[in-house]
Structure 1
């Protein structure tokens, strides 16, 4: 077993390896939290008390909403992680440098559109963007791809269409708002970004012994499914709790104001950190809010959430992560409000 975690990209017979510190077995804390919640319900309290508590209408409603969100989203989450693992394992990173225009201003929107054909969870987009930068792709284009890939890929758009049946304008609004946000952020980096904000990645040439592409696919798929699945369970639980416990008066305070409702659901998307393959089902369950507010939830979530901020800080540095996430949130909210107001 190797003593260090290494990420290998093989292109044209050569290999580039990123060496990190020795890896410990990582625990999927969202999955642990979801499991503990289920176990606590099953083992705590007398049987009669459990039966009475579980038969309470509010608990039954919570269970129904949580289960419905999870069951609807799980097939799309599974498909997304399979495709993401296959792309990371079998598609050479050099492909991107070949198809992107040489001029950075043109490379940004092209990279944003390229995200539409590369399904994957937002967790996978950060290392892919880091790999692109190390291969010579301009950071502005890599960041546009980082933002667009988890937001507008076919799996996510199909899931959105299923979650909002009979509402093709919601799918179109999500596509346009996400593309606009990715392109604007790429151009903003060209205009205002500084190289010193990016922490350099230590890389050297070599080959990772004993790891085939199929092994890389299996490991990537396993990690993404467990990691994103845990956040899906927590997101479904949080959405169900939100629907059942929050009083109508509180919802009316935010949902009654177009501006506050958009900001509230944008902030909720950052906190819940639901995987992009599943967030449309969570948004569809928030029926007390306007379509524009729910659009903001789906545009902000795949681009800025707590786990993504942590991933970006670990990959590019904290100075970059806070600046980039703050600016992305502002641009995503503005794009959602403008496009949602026009189409929804």
Structure 2
């Protein structure tokens, strides 16, 4: 019925929507989605294969006993056990229930959505700038490790809700191929939806935000870093889609855009709500500001030597 109405009212709709801003926005949206989708499919297939043949339950047995050493190992394990921000929260909870130190589980929580294969293949959003992939990997991994060490030093168990630490019966598993297909299907559906949202956000930002504003951010590195960090929290994009939004803001230097890519998977509005529901409000009120500040600092520290101040 929608298609029939569109065909019958074609001339009217063309006149109605023949606006320069809509043409620009639709072009940006289609370009983002078409460019990203093949790499997203490749990433979720790799994600499903890793999840099927290297399940999260093996992580606990591979971790060093000393938490200070286990934290960077858990951070690196985020690349081998991929998942989005929302998926990493229940995995971190399960690790805590399996007697993994909270700081170690939190390091994995921060690293998994930021350095997994699905995210790293979004390097296609920055053609000719492979250093952006290295900078995002380094900034995100450093954020996870530093936050884990700080929580190990200053965090308290009583800040985490009891329900997050009580042991539960493990999920019923299936064959490896079933795990592979279900993981790939789930990740593709979820990440694909967020990719569409990211494409829409990119199109809207390109059309709505005046270029003079972007020029102001481009001329002030500190202001650009702060604005992009807050934007990452507010937009709450999935880590599989945020690179294409950042790439579309070409008037802003690379370092603020790197801050956007590092902060987003670590702390945003949906993550704060999910962490408060899973680990308790006391935890979220302390962990979110800590992660926000550490992510900004690590992104700038890694980005300046690798990216400089250029675009």
TM-score, normalised to structure 2, is: 0.87
Match for residue 66 of structure 2 among 103, 119, 125:
103
Q: How does 1:287-298 map to 2 (within 5 A)?
A: 287-298=250-261
Tell me the secondary structure at the aligned position of residue 129 of structure 1. Answer: helix
Tell me the equivalent position of 1:67.
Answer: 30
Tell me the secondary structure at the aligned position of residue 302 of structure 1. Answer: helix
For the 8 Å contact 1:261–1:289, the answer to whether it is kept is: yes
Tell me the equivalent position of 2:279.
Answer: 316
Tell me the equivalent position of 2:209.
Answer: 246
Q: How does 1:299-314 map to 2 (within 5 A)?
A: 299-314=262-277
For the 8 Å contact 2:55–2:81, the answer to whether it is kept is: no
Q: 1:318 to 1:72 in 2, by over 3 A?
A: farther
For the 8 Å contact 2:71–2:148, the answer to whether it is kept is: yes
Tell me the equivalent position of 2:130.
Answer: 168
Any stretches of 5+ residues in structure 1 without a counterpart? 1-38
Any stretches of 5+ residues in structure 2 without a counterpart? none
1:54 maps onto 2:17 in alignment? yes
Deviation at 1:301, TM superposition (A): 1.2
Q: How does 1:59-138 map to 2 (within 5 A)?
A: 59-85=22-48, 87-88=50-51, 91-138=54-101
Tell me the equivalent position of 1:10.
Answer: none
Deviations 1:112-152 (A, max 9, x none): 11212223222221111111111111111111111111111
Tell me the equivalent position of 1:185.
Answer: 147
**Cα distance in 2 between the residues matched to 1:339 and 1:85:** 30
Q: 1:275 to 1:205 in 2, by over 3 A?
A: closer
For the 8 Å contact 2:97–2:168, the answer to whether it is kept is: no
Deviation at 1:206, TM superposition (A): 7.3
Deviations 1:22-70 (A, max 9, x none): xxxxxxxxxxxxxxxxx8xx87xx6544212332222111001011112
Tell me the equivalent position of 1:21.
Answer: none
**Cα distance in 2 between the residues matched to 1:309 and 1:213:** 33
For the 8 Å contact 1:80–1:120, the answer to whether it is kept is: no
Tell me the equivalent position of 1:28.
Answer: none
Name the one with the larger helix percent. Answer: 2
Alignment: residue pair count: 302
Match for residue 159 of structure 2 among 187, 191, 197:
197
**Cα distance in 2 between the residues matched to 1:310 and 1:222:** 25
For the 8 Å contact 2:54–2:81, the answer to whether it is kept is: no
For the 8 Å contact 2:108–2:144, the answer to whether it is kept is: yes
Q: 1:263 to 1:49 in 2, by over 3 A?
A: farther
Tell me the secondary structure at the aligned position of residue 266 of structure 2. Answer: coil
Q: 1:207 to 1:254 in 2, by over 3 A?
A: closer
Q: 1:220 to 1:314 in 2, by over 3 A?
A: farther
For the 8 Å contact 2:51–2:81, the answer to whether it is kept is: no
Tell me the equivalent position of 1:337.
Answer: 300
